Chain A
Amino acid sequence: MSKRIILDPSHLDIMLKRMAIELAENHGDFEQCALVGLQPRGIALAQRIKSILENDLKVGNITYGELDSTFYRDDFRRSEKILIPSSIELDFPIEGKNIVLIDDVLYTGRSVRSALNALSDFGRPGKTELLTLIDRRFKRELPIQPDYVGTNVDTRAHDRVIVDLENENKVWIITEQQN
């Protein structure tokens, strides 16, 4: 098994700030916009983006929510482990709002698909966008593309991408040795 750092803390901070600025460019004062982190691993990223917008770019009153799409996933009874849900915090009407879904890694696109279904059970957003820190290209199984990307990474199927925004502030690729 080999572990390779693809984003170190300084690189990562610049990237997060750049994405926050892109968001501010498109959404102005964020009055019609809501940031929605996808449970479980998109939450840390969504909170970082929110805090950059509030503290560095001085945007006030950002609508923020957390969405869990466990019950909408298409691998229920197909995956080895039981899918355990996380909590949903979406206590604002999404009707007509511009929703930015936030997840750490975009890979097959299946979890974003389930998040879109989960979101539609809360109402009809005006526009839905996707922000992702890492885009693992070439393994998409659905026609889903991000609107805001940190970086593109070319990986093989047995690689794992680990995003750690809470402790070490780094992103790794872990490659399992193939037998």
Chain B
Amino acid sequence: MTRLSSNHLLGLKELTSEDINLIFETADNFKSILNRQIKKVPSLRDITIANVFFENSTRTKISFELAEKRLSADVVNFSSSSSSVSKGETLIDTVNNILSMKVDMVVMRHPAPGAALFLSKHVDAQIINAGDGTHEHPTQALLDAYSIREELGNIQGKKVVIVGDILHSRVALSNIYCLQKMGAEVAVCGPPTLIPKHIDALGVRVMHNLNEALAWCDVANMLRIQMERQQTKYFPSLREYSMQYGLTMDHLNTLDKEVTIMHPGPINRGVEVSSEVADSDQSIILNQVENGVAIRMAVLYLLAAQKES
């Protein structure tokens, strides 16, 4: 296995476990480079990458941009708020205009599920999905799984619970695909209104009680309540949600084991996790962010390498 099975990174659904392992092994090399004094290699020096963000982002955008720069790629950034999209240009036109300026790869975040797949069928560039609506966020799932592998040694046989707003979360769906392909058992936990119907068809357990979920799992991935995507009320109040599903030190102290705590960010402290939990030794939230750069370097490197082969 020396190449990825796809020329784009659209979602974890399309990747094989061999692909994921190849990305992890390549990321190991980049991680050691990121710990050096000179954190830059010249691999992608003749490649230009456009970061096209139709939705807000801090971590993902900075992480991709750093990954690109550390591979010596040329980078252009684009965000919809300051662009001609507000003048009525279509997605394909926008991207084709960018590509005609000789851009090789597009990293795109878009509010519409399937936007990355759509783009990959209609433009001549490699597409990396940096989040498409409520669908997938592949690099986040890869860095989450990579962080679990780093923390616990392997992913095979581990029990991971994803807690919170599963309904609106692209991180949840990508994580489910990724972790299952790597041999983990996955459960989701949250109020019934925030768990998609028929999610058990994906082979995940459904739980509604946080204590039960914590007793079962090795890793808890706490998701943010995505207020910006919620048009109706899914629970009476944020305070009530926090009382039912907010993770506190009291929860962790009653367990006879150490559960690894993850969060894809941004954190709403005091809602899904308390400050003490977020800053505790069991939390690997900042390791996730650190690993994000190495994972994204690996994805960019492997995709760029197979473009012309």
Contact = CB atoms under 8 A, between A and B. Distances in A.
B2 interface: yes
Contact of A121 (B3, B38, B301, B302): B38
A151 interface: no
A85 B304 CA distance: 14
Interface residues of A, number: 21
Contacts of B66: none
A122 B33 CA distance: 10
B309 A81 contact: yes
B32 A88 contact: yes
A83 interface: yes
A81 B305 CA distance: 8
Nearest to A84: B2
Contacts of B29: 68, 70-71, 85-88
A87 B27 CA distance: 11
Contact of A77 (B2, B26, B37, B308): B308
B28 A87 contact: yes
Contacts of A83: 305
A76 B28 contact: no
A80 B309 contact: yes
B305 A71 contact: no
A39 to B, nearest CB: 10
Interface string B42-71: 111011000000000000000000000001
B91 interface: no
Interface in B256-291: none
Contacts of B47: 77
Question: Mostly helix, strand, loop or mixed at chain A's interface?
Answer: loop
Question: Mostly helix, strand, loop or mixed at chain B's interface?
Answer: loop
Contacts of B3: 81-82
A76 B26 contact: no
A84 B26 contact: yes
B233 interface: no
A92 interface: no
Given A68-B29, A82-B3, A77 B41 contact: no
Contacts of B229: none
Contacts of B32: 87-88
A70 B26 CA distance: 11
A70 B41 CA distance: 10
A82 B43 contact: no
B42 A122 contact: no
15 contacts: A71-B42, A72-B42, A77-B304, A77-B307, A78-B308, A79-B309, A80-B309, A82-B2, A82-B3, A83-B305, A84-B22, A87-B28, A121-B40, A121-B41, A122-B38
Interface string B1-40: 0110000000000000000001001101100110011101
Nearest to A85: B29
Contact of B41 (A72, A79, A86): A72
A117 interface: yes
Nearest to A76: B43
Nearest to B308: A77
Contacts of B193: none
Interface in A79-134: 79-88, 117, 121-123
B47 to A, nearest CB: 8
A71 B33 contact: yes
B80 interface: no
Given A77-B309, A87-B32, A121-B38, 20 more contacts: A71-B33, A71-B42, A76-B43, A77-B47, A77-B304, A81-B3, A81-B309, A82-B2, A82-B306, A83-B305, A85-B26, A85-B29, A86-B29, A87-B28, A88-B29, A88-B32, A117-B42, A121-B41, A122-B37, A123-B37
